[in-house]
């Protein structure tokens, strides 16, 4: 037990609002696997966050379990990591309410994701969409997380979580660990294949811009062959002037384990066509074992249920300790 407490704690999660993308894998999950030995890791499927946008209930349940299988198939060992479904740990909703009373209206108004999602869902600008950074803060602070692996677009939310934690600690003493954002250098931001100035996202209007972990190999190859490049023929890393090629190089670098210099040398004097095919092939081979193992895991319903029940029990044990402390501090009568 002492070994666990000496390790720093990491928490991260992904919404099951769509299938997991190549960006999710390279930018998040692949890095999570490498952190398992060094840190005390909590990885959650944040289904409560996903309902700020209307979801098909049957599809949401299906994607939640599929995402759990993909976490494990990607190398996240349920014995070494606490893997759980957010809605299975009621402390997330409970602490979220308390923290929303310590989050300022002006702070929430400045969140760029609220502005972006409001623009995309003009007919459903609900209170949850506005206050969900308080829920995200609860997700993190419940586990006394030291580090939160996030993409650059989520860094703002971690900064707000730090502000909320400091505000609460300033009033009630040392209650929460103040977390730091953990942004990996490689693969942190994988861009769309068709609009490389935008992040690869499951909400991409052009289906060819996004690659999914469970996608068929022929579909993956088709998307890479159609990937946007530029009018030159030189494979060179230059994100500002060559965003499409630079994005493909970032993907290939992680998938094939090569440096940008090695990639430039490999394709010196060769056209973009050869390069795009090679990137596509490396991604197909990287995702193949994950897809096949995910399919196998999903068929074992008893195992999937065992993983999420045990994960929720372990997460609840830690989360409820924090929640009891918070309730006592704010003046709630103990049960």
Active-site annotation, residues = 117, 199, 202
Q: For the CA atoms of 328, 330, 334, 335, what is the dihedral angle to 10 degrees?
A: -130
**What length is written for the chain?**
335
**75: CB partners within 8 A, 6+ apart:** 30, 33
Beta bridge partners of 228: none
Residue 19 is encoded by which pair of tokens?
A: 């299938």
Buried (b) or exposed (e) across 4-25, using 16+ Cβ within 10 A?
eeeebbbbbbbbbbbbbbbbbb
**Strand runs (DSSP E) across the chain, as ranges?**
9-14, 40-45, 81-85, 147-149, 180-182
C-alpha distance across the termini of the chain, in Å: 28
- CA 230 to mean position of chain CA atoms: 30
Residue 80 is encoded by which pair of tokens?
A: 């070494």
What values do phi and psi take at 24, rounded to 5?
Answer: -65, -40
Distance between CA 137 and CA 121 in Å, rounded? 23
């Amino acid at each position: 037990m002492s070994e666990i407490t000496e390790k720093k704690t990491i928490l991260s999660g992904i919404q099951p609002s769509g299938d997991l993308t190549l960006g999710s894998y390279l930018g998040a999950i692949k890095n999570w696997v490498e952190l398992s030995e060094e840190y005390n890791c909590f990885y959650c499927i944040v289904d409560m966050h996903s309902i700020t946008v209307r979801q098909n209930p049957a599809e949401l349940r299906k994607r939640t379990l599929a995402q759990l299988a993909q976490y494990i198939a990607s190398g996240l060992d349920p014995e070494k990591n606490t893997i759980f479904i957010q809605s299975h740990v009621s402390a997330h909703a409970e602490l979220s309410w308390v923290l929303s009373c310590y989050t300022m209206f002006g702070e929430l108004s400045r969140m760029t994701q609220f502005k972006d999602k409001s623009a995309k869902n003009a007919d459903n600008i609900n209170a949850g969409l506005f206050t969900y950074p308080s829920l995200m803060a609860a997700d993190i602070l419940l586990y006394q997380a030291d580090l939160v692996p996030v993409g650059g677009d989520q860094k703002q939310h971690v900064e707000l979580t730090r502000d909320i934690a400091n505000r609460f600690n300033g009033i009630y003493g040392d209650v929460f660990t103040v977390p730091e954002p953990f942004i990996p250098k490689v693969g942190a931001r994988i861009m769309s294949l068709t609009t490389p100035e935008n992040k690869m996202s499951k909400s991409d209007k052009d289906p060819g811009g996004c690659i999914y972990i469970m996608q068929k190999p022929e579909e993956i190859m088709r998307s890479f062959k159609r990937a946007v490049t530029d009018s030159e023929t030189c494979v060179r890393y230059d994100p500002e002037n060559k965003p499409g090629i630079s994005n493909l190089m970032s993907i290939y670098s992680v998938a094939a384990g090569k440096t940008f210099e090695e990639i430039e040398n490999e394709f010196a004097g060769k056209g973009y066509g050869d390069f795009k095919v090679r990137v596509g092939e490396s991604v197909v081979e990287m995702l193949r074992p994950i897809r096949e193992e995910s399919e196998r895991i999903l068929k074992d319903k008893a195992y999937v249920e065992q993983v999420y029940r045990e994960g929720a029990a372990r997460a609840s044990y830690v989360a409820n300790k924090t929640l009891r402390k918070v309730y006592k501090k704010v003046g709630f009568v103990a049960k």
